[in-house]
Amino acid sequence: MRMLLLGGLAAASLVGVAQAASSEGAMLVLKAPPAKAELIQDGALWRCTGTVCKAPTVKAMPAVRSCRKIVAELGAVSAFTWRGEALDAAGVEECNTAAKP
């Protein structure tokens, strides 16, 4: 019985780690494929496949600020999710118009 309980606790802790990791990353969808498939921005490694780019771990900073920095490097986005929170349409528009190359 004790082994079953310990096994259940171990499995639950692994699920918690997986959920925490996904809430520490970021994902975006570009309007056009990027010129480069990889980018390091603020210590995060972004990898792009087609128009979808992902970074498994990113710093805790405002999403719109981070979006502007990425857009300046990769191009305009149609969707942006930062540490588990997606920008709404107004946030995406602000990101695209405020980005400076």
What does the pLDDT look like over 24-66, one tens digit per residue?
A: 899 999 999 999 999 999 999 999 999 999 999 999 999 999 9
* Four-residue CA torsion sign, 71, 65, 29, 57: positive
Amino acid of residue 34: P
Tell me how long the chain is. 101
Tokens of 96: 């695209």
Report the pLDDT value the prediction gives residue 9, as an integer from 0 to 100: 38
Q: Which ranges constitute the DSSP H helices of 1-100?
A: 2-22, 63-74, 89-98
What does the pLDDT look like over 66-89, one tens digit per residue?
A: 999 999 999 999 999 999 999 999
Report the pLDDT value the prediction gives residue 99, as an integer from 0 to 100: 78
For the entire predicted model, the pTM comes to 0.74
Report the pLDDT value the prediction gives residue 98, as an integer from 0 to 100: 84
- pLDDT above 90 (res 92): yes
